[in-house]
Amino acid sequence: MPQRNSTQQHAAPASTFKVAAIQMASGPNVAGNLSEARRLIAKAAEQGARLVVLPEFFAIMGMNDQDKIKVREQPGHGPIQSFLSETARQYKVWLAGGSIPLAAGVPDKVLNSCLVFDEQGKQVARYDKIHLFNLELGNERYDEAKTIEPGTQVVVVDSPFGRIGLAVCYDLRFPELFRAMKNVDIILLPAAFTETTGKMHWEVLVRARAVENLAYVVAAAQGGYHVNGRETHGNSMVVNPWGGVLDRLPRGSGVVIAEVNPSYQASLRASLPALGHRVLF
């Protein structure tokens, strides 16, 4: 699977900095969701966050699977993308726009795309979700492939905060994706995990990806009951490279914030050089 690196090279940060995961319970009204996102981004910035992550489909959790197709945008154009650019610039943060629906290669589908904007409001990366969720369990039925076209490229962003790897929700279950990122410092994970799967698997998977890659994980989730009747697990969290949960929010809208310590991460990687011990079969 090909890898795409975005932006110019930056030196690794020498001092600590704060990151934030935004948790929402988005609904079908795009304008209302953007207003709530702006409020929470402002709150994160006020607390000193320099890197902020929104949840999957933060701008639209429709009444049905077709609603996101109705508000899809062309790359580089549209109110959701303008919002992300303007808000990143306004609050002087690097902003990962959770995921948004972008136009796909076929008219009845979208790409589930995570866009990253720097503090000047410039888009510096785009990752299209590769793994599409499918579940048939009891009364629950999900089949993302009906309305979403999968991405094909692993994306890593060279940033002032180190190497950042991008993933979305169901990607979390596939550790080979994160290995393909090749030694990232921070993993950003927007998500909308269902309560059914999330209560058993979410935390253990988030912490496992942190431990396996000796990386910080910023996991920003949808969390609560939605107008469409769906229940998402929440528990947005920031996890350190040793697997410790630095902060979390069980349910509802809010901000999870924590400090990233590059020196601590470097010391762990020196003490346990597991990334250099990998054997590929």
**Residues in CB range of 10: below 8 A, 6 or more apart:** 158, 159, 160, 162
pLDDT at 151: 98
Q: What is the pLDDT of residues 10-69, one digit of tens each?
A: 666 769 999 999 999 999 999 999 999 999 999 999 999 999 999 999 999 999 999 999
Q: What is the pLDDT of residues 69-126, one digit of tens each?
A: 999 999 999 999 999 999 999 999 999 999 999 999 999 999 999 999 999 999 999 9
- The residues assigned a catalytic role are 56, 129, 169
9 pLDDT above the threshold of 80: no
Question: CB burial class (10 A; 0-12, 13-18, 19+) of residue 208?
Answer: middle
7 pLDDT above the threshold of 70: no
Q: How confident is the model at residue 134 (pLDDT cuts 50, 70, 90)?
A: very high
Domains in the chain, please, with CATH?
17-272 (3.60.110.10)
Q: What is the pLDDT of residues 171-214, one digit of tens each?
A: 999 999 999 999 999 999 999 999 999 999 999 999 999 999 99
Beta strand 162-166 with 154-159: parallel, antiparallel or unpaired? Answer: antiparallel
